[in-house]
A = this chain, B = another copy of it.
């Protein structure tokens, strides 16, 4: 089967680019001297995990317990829920901890730790607990210098059914950086915050084996991994126009796209409509925050060309969406396409666009190789 035979819209995954992105991530982790823990929140696929896992390490991160259970089923032995433990899902987490060698969660709150201490007592196998450190995003996490950090660590280390996995952080403010230098500076702040936290715990005689940091911009541009044990990143596997705008990867590394067809044409205003609208692309407008890199709801490219595609090259963009329509303005000089003509749309934000689909159509050039399921939702 060929891309031209598929029903549209469909979520495409370019296997060659995915493999190259996975290799890039591993190479960068090696340069930083850390293990790579691929974050599966973007791709949500066990086939992708198999390609992305660091062979010398074996771990992944996930964003939901549903993902964690799925990847456990697929045989992955080290799974980190890189999110503050959801209070209503403690039993579910303890059940998973009993099933695989290493399942771990994040905490940043004494009430949660006390609840875990109480509920995990008597567990067959300990639940790993990472103390989340706020390295400047101020989303979640405790201050690396505050009194809460050692208090949390002591309670976790002293509990019978818990294991202190270490300290972890995510400098999400890297998404607000607007240059490679700025991204590198955020990554360095992140590294300093989390290694300082680890140092404090060790100075108090507590074991702090794991020191976990990471984001896709940081993976691309961090200058040092000193003191870190592992790096988490997820979007780098697919890439998207936002990451390309940030400079994390090139547009021609973007491995995910939405296959779409022309369903209507209009002379005034001069534009055409594709069958990829708000549901097929998501309404993420992340690139609107990047000066000179606003890509509307996505950039169109041909079936066998994913290169350049910047507005300077005259690439068409999905300028607006309705639920099932994408609107593509066409310059006066350019012809309107035929009804049914196909394009691929490179997305603004891979995590959001991919989440609109329950599977990938995996392709090599124009040849369809098969479909890979995605684990969406929360269960």
Contact = CB atoms under 8 A, between A and B. Distances in A.
Per assembly, the copies of the chain total 2
B108 A264 contact: yes
Contact of A109 (B140, B172, B264, B282): B264
Given A340-B87, A378-B10, A352 B264 contact: no
A377 interface: yes
Given A7-B378, A269-B138, A64 B339 contact: no
A305 to B, nearest CB: 20
Nearest to A140: B264
Interface of A: 7-10, 41, 63-64, 83-89, 92, 108-109, 111-112, 115, 138-140, 172, 261-266, 268-269, 273, 275, 278-280, 282-285, 322-325, 327, 338-340, 351-352, 355-358, 376-379
Given A8-B86, A86-B263, A358-B376, 18 more contacts: A8-B88, A41-B323, A83-B325, A84-B273, A86-B261, A87-B261, A88-B340, A108-B264, A109-B339, A138-B266, A139-B322, A139-B325, A140-B273, A278-B284, A282-B283, A283-B283, A323-B352, A357-B377
18 contacts: A7-B89, A41-B323, A63-B324, A83-B324, A83-B325, A84-B264, A85-B263, A86-B261, A88-B261, A88-B340, A138-B266, A139-B273, A139-B322, A139-B327, A140-B264, A280-B378, A282-B282, A358-B376
